[in-house]
Structure 1
Amino acid sequence: MYPNLNSRSKALYDRAVASLPGGNTRTTVFMKPYPIYAARGEGCRVWDVDGNELIDCINNYTALIHGHAHPHLIAAASKQMALGSAFGLPTESEIDLAELLVSRLPSVDQVRFTNSGTEAVMMALKAGRAFTGRPKMAKCEGSYHGSYDYAEVSLDPGPEYWSDNAPPVSVAYAKGTPANVLSDVVTIPFNDVDGAVSLIRQHRHELAAVLVDPLPNRAGLAPVDKEYLLALREVTCEIGALLILDEIMSFRVGYHGAQGLWRIDPDLTTIGKIIGGGFPIGAVGGRREVMSVFDPSHGKPALPHGGTFSANPVAMRAGLTAMELLDEAAYDRLNGMGATVRDEINELFRRYKVCASAIGLGSLVKINFSDRHVRDYRSAYLAPEQSARLAAFNIELLNRGVLSAGNGLMAMSTPMTDTEVKAIAAAAMEAILGIAAA
């Protein structure tokens, strides 16, 4: 049972505190009083260092769509590693994966690989500036786009910054964020057509790009309204700015990504997570004219971009194999499991009269302990007592063999079957009863 102060995980955490700040090198996996340390994973299950077996619904924050140690991915990575893991030369592998991504995304003519989603977003925003010659960007309040100063603005502004009669303000996420970063970011409301379009038009001569996640995790995983997305597409064309669609997480919701579901053609798309087959990766892709800012074939490009491990062949080969395994039937099965988990948990919340909901799309699920209809960051924002209920729910799930993210996020993986779906629902019921008893 967690917490267990005599556990090996607790001992490892105590050891980690000496050499890692707060015993941590990745804020998202920290938990109090200590994190669970993984020992190994296989399929849709993970074992911690104390031998506890868990159904893994985190899947490295949605990246491991094929779960752990998939034999095809092991074979692809191992074959390449025997030939070399990285070179100061290009390899055919990057062409192969780029061609697959171009075939899946109608809006993308060309691709540039990076080592993370954060870097992909950073390069997309820099491409927007290089292409338009303008300094500013717009992003949605409460949307997470990685650890780049500009992308982090207004990631988690508290209610003290809200006003019903005023637009969102640009708030620093990290201490020490330069003031000029805040002034170069226009924060727009998510799923509010009039509010967003008005702000974009106000800054029409300065905006290089508008960045939007169609399924923002920090905003409760509420899917974007098609009307909102189409309005952003229209207004960016009107003012000559780029529309950047962040599909780093949402690319897993369909064969052609979220843009295929919403039938939207952004100028640039950022992708990552599932396209690496479990290895570090990111990519930015878009129409040829915009991607030309990276082109070095005629001299120094408008936007030079390097990276020692960018397009390393291990990630390319594993990623290609992972994506080839994701045919339309695989997506349909994954999305069906996600819908079943959401429906089962929502039925439990109704049955036991719990003010909470399971939201999401496709193979993604987000638990929100609120009685509000979630459609943006503010409606998804949890008061301290609601956050405490979510934390208790996650611990109850953990102690019943289901690993979910601390923010309530769950992701299905291809090794899961009806057995795991039923086990997740059963654990959720016991977790709800456990919270009620407490």
Structure 2
Amino acid sequence: MKYPNSEALFKRAQNVLPGGVSRNTLLRGAHPLYVLKGKGCRVTDVDGVERIDFANNMASHIHGHAFEPIVEAVSKQLQCGTAFTLATEAEVTFAEHLCSRNPAFDKVRFVNSGTEAVMAGMKAARAYTGRPKIAKVEGSYHGAYDYAEVSQAPTPENWGDSARPNAVPLAQGTPQSVSEDMVVLPFNEPEQSIAILDHYKDQIACILIDPVPHRIGMSPAGSTFVAALRKWATDNGALLMFDEVITFRTEYGGAQALYDVRPDLTSMGKMIGGGFPVGALAGRDDVMRVFTNGRLPHSGTFSANPVTMTAGRVAMAYFDRDAVAKLNRLGDYARASLAQLFQTLGVPACVTGAGSLLRMHMKPAIPANFREAHPTEVQKRALSTLINDLYDDGFMLIHTGAAALSTVMTEAEVDCLVESVASSMTRLKPLLLETVQ
């Protein structure tokens, strides 16, 4: 399809923005699409095309667009000001709410993005333990921070032995010292991971894990794996940190509620901001004291601004236990519907996810780790075609084939998506069958 107004805007953008955008995830096809407005679970672009939004700004909207209680509360706050060199009650009220959702949250500190929340957590772990190294899982995404980016996107050419993965920098020019202070673990392999950790036991400040890692394949971390990491951290004076920037939506108190462990630190972001830029780091009181006892000076001009605090508090208040359970049932329905579709069509594709999250893979079996999730060139082409088909047919998905549902959706929207996926996958079937022959 042609989108002349978006094309014209992109031509202007390339004159003033590198690549025409400020975030590369918007680049798709010949040019990005430009939004005019959004309401509920539907978004209209500048060419007048309306789409059902299953991307929700990379999982940051839990109630869809222009959710009326948030609009009303933020509008009132705007009349009172947006940011001050004074503390606000809005920060206190929202912190009280977040801490009430999870017993592991003794204290919380707000920042402006998930990336910043993870960064603050890694620095806090180093400040608390006095150790330099951070352990993370191969392929896991933890934001745009040199240390967090290590082994975010390794390839078969550089990822090394699966039992002892290489620490591979993402961006060219990353100092070698960054990789040297990151320890990379194989996903859901407790024995292999413990063996790696033992090699650095006196140097590990923190083990950082995402309980449902998107880039690894969006399959939950196994309870045995998580328990092994928790025990090792406790036994060896290290901290365990959960990155719940995306996954906090999966349970009332975050995905960690599904495990019989309690992390020392938890990073959050995306949907806890009610549609505004946000990040938060929560954790044990003694660990969080590093921010004020001189070990880790920390500030931020727009951290905990009252607009974000107001929007976040309202968003989370409406995402109560009943809302979480209802949305998770819709997620179960969506995953089951897509899985049944792939089986009926006889295509080598599968679906993963948890709670209100899902991801489609152009693979015959659910990938167990990042290496199995890594797509071939044919699978990349097939997925790209599927996403483009869906956009042209009136649906927005995350470019990885992932979706994040919102509370304003129903089974009707899911059924429409499944019907559109069926149309595209029927055409893609011959190409996909080539990958398993």
Task: State the TM-score, normalized to the length of structure 2.
Answer: 0.97
Summarize the alignment of residues 109-124 of structure 1 with structure 2, pairs less than 5 Å apart: 109-124=106-121
What secondary structure sits across from 1:151 in the alignment? helix
Find 1:265's aligned residue among 248, 262, 266: 262
Matches of 1:281 and 1:205, distance apart in 2: 34
Counterpart-to-counterpart distance in 2, 1:166 and 1:437: 35
> Does 1:336 find its partner at 2:329?
yes
Separation in 2, partners of 1:163, 1:271: 31
- Measured on the aligned residues, the alpha-carbon RMSD in Å equals 1.2
Counterparts of 1:379 and 1:32, CA distance in 2: 26
Q: Tell me, yes or no, if the aligned pair for 1:223 and 1:375 is still in contact at 8 Å.
A: no
1:57 and 2:54 correspond:
yes
Give the partner amino acid of 1:335: N
Q: Structure 1: which 5+ residue stretches go unaligned? A: none
Report the Cα distance in structure 2 between the residues aligned to 1:360 and 1:324, rounded to whole angstroms. Answer: 24
How far does the alpha carbon of each residue in 1:219-258 deviate from its partner, in whole angstroms, 9 at most, with x for none? 0111110110111100001110000100010000011110
Partner residue of 2:68?
Answer: 71
User: 1:102 is matched by which residue type in structure 2?
Assistant: C
Native 8 Å contact 2:51 2:391 kept in 1: yes
Alpha carbons 2:160, 2:166 under 8 Å: kept: no
1:152-163 to structure 2, matched below 5 A, reads: 152-163=149-160
In structure 2, the partner of 1:419 is 412
1:364 to 357, 365, 382: 357
**In the alignment, which residue of structure 2 is the partner of 1:392?**
385
CA distance in 1 between counterparts of 2:314 and 2:128 reads 33
CA–CA separation in structure 1 for the residues paired with 2:430 and 2:17: 37
Letter in 2 for 1:80: Q
Counterpart position of 1:15: 12
How much identity, in percent, do the aligned residues show? Answer: 45
Task: Tell me the distance in 1 between the aligned counterparts of 2:38 and 2:154.
Answer: 36
Q: Which amino acid aligns with 2:324?
A: Y
Q: Does residue 302 of the first structure (1) align with residue 299 of the second (2)?
A: no
Say whether residues 1:276 and 2:273 are aligned partners: yes
**Does residue 222 in structure 1 map to residue 210 in structure 2?**
no
Q: Which runs of 4+ in 1 moved over 3 A?
A: 162-166
Deviation at 1:263, TM superposition (A): 3.2
SS of residue matched to 2:372: helix
Aligned length: 431
The equivalent position to 1:213 in structure 2, one of 198, 203, 210, is 210
Report SS of the residue matched to 2:15: helix
Q: 1:319 aligns with which of 294, 312, 318?
A: 312
User: Where does structure 2 lack aligned partners over 5 or more consecutive residues?
Assistant: 432-437
Does structure 1 retain, via aligned residues, the 8 Å contact 2:163–2:192? no
Q: Deviations over 1:351-370 (max 9, x none)?
A: 11111111100100101111
Q: Distance in 2 between matches of 1:331 and 1:190?
A: 27
1:138 maps to which residue?
135
Letter in 2 for 1:211: L
Please report how far the alpha carbon of residue 188 of structure 1 lies from its aligned counterpart in structure 2 after TM superposition.
0.8
3-state SS of the aligned residue for 1:271?
strand
Provide the residue aligned with 1:404 in structure 2: 397
- For 2:356, the aligned partner's letter is S
Deviations 1:28-77 (A, max 9, x none): 22112111111110000000110001000000000101000000000111
Match of 1:93 among 57, 82, 90: 90
Match 1:289 to one of 286, 297, 304: 286
Instruction: State the alpha-carbon separation in 2 of the partners of residues 88 and 246 from structure 1.
Output: 29
Tell me which amino acid in the other structure corresponds to 2:55: I
Aligned-residue offset at 1:27: 1.2
> Relative to structure 2, which stretch is displaced further, 396-405 or 150-159?
396-405
Are the structure 2 counterparts of residues 316 and 242 from structure 1 closer, same or farther at C-alpha, using a change threshold of 3 Å? same
2:435 maps to none
- 3-state SS of the aligned residue for 1:83? coil
Q: Which amino acid aligns with 1:205?
A: D
- Alpha-carbon displacement from aligned partner over 1:299-353 (angstroms, at most 9, x marks no partner): xx21011100000000001100000001111111111111111111111111111
- The answer on whether the counterparts of 1:43 and 1:69 sit within 8 Å (CA) in structure 2 is yes
Q: Separation in 2 of the partners of 1:388 and 1:223? A: 26
Deviating more after overlay: 422-431 vs 128-137 = 422-431
CA 52–165 in structure 1, closer or farther in 2 if over 3 Å, else same: closer
Question: Contact (CA 8 Å) 2:60, 2:270: kept in 1 or not?
Answer: yes
Letter of the 2:214 partner, please give it.
N
Change (3 A) 1:165 1:349: closer
- Matches of 2:145 and 2:162, distance apart in 1: 29
> Cα distance 1:165–1:45, how it changes in 2: closer, same or farther (>3 A)?
closer
Partner of 2:186: 189
Deviation at residue 162 of structure 1 after TM alignment:
3.7
